[in-house]
Amino acid sequence: MHNPLVPIAFPDRKQVLPDGATLLAADVSGTKTILALIEIHDGDASFIKETVYPSRQFGSLAEAVRTFMAGSSSRPQRFSIAFAGPVQEGKAYATNLGWHLDTRLLIEELGIPQVFLINDLEAEAYGLAALTEKDLVTIYPGKAQPKGNAAIIAPGTGWVKRDCIGMAPPCIRSPRKAGTPILHRATTSTGNCSSICKINTAT
């Protein structure tokens, strides 16, 4: 893998997939489910296939996966799921869909040897390690502080913050989420709106 611009500490590097291995990835939310089939080459991911489905089209994640994999000769060695909601001990419940996600059951239902389930913002934090210069746009140059901390803020239906502790290698993802965010809006002279968040980190 390339030297990451944002060095992330991964929980268990012993589980890195070998070259030629196939990975199934899912991003699951109440609105849509994105499924992707990925092949590993020289430590980097190459997309074979990607499809976006309305989540309500299916009665379960396993059903969505079977539809996605229909006609494919690929046999994924791992299934990694990013879920928009709380995850505990490999289990989650999609309230808006009535889906029960359980890594052990998914292994049995789909026949995939390894299944991992994490919160979607946690997955986003890990994904920073895959970014290259061409993926980045500088909004405000500021002053680099390589030994400082960072926060990933995800504005959406709700507001969630994920901390990255220590930007000097490696950055360790913190499991804490923010408390109540207080949003202040500002308008520049060009009419573009920007948002500055003050996060109340008391939980």
Query: What value does the mean pLDDT take over residues 182-190?
Result: 38
**Residues 117-173 pLDDT 10s:** 999 888 888 888 778 888 888 888 888 776 767 677 766 655 455 555 444 444 544
CATH 3.20.20.150 matches 13-130: no
Residue whose C-alpha is closest to residue 9's, from 161, 93, 128: 128
For the chain, which residues make up each domain, given as ranges?
13-130, 140-199
| Contact indicator for 122, 162 with CB cutoff of 8 Å | yes
Residue 18 per-residue DSSP state = P
Task: Give the pLDDT confidence of 3-34 residue by residue, as tens digits.
Answer: 667 666 666 656 777 788 899 999 999 999 99
Q: What percent of the chain has pLDDT over 70?
A: 67
pTM to 2 decimals? 0.72
The neighbour count for residue 112, using CB atoms within 10 Å, is: 20
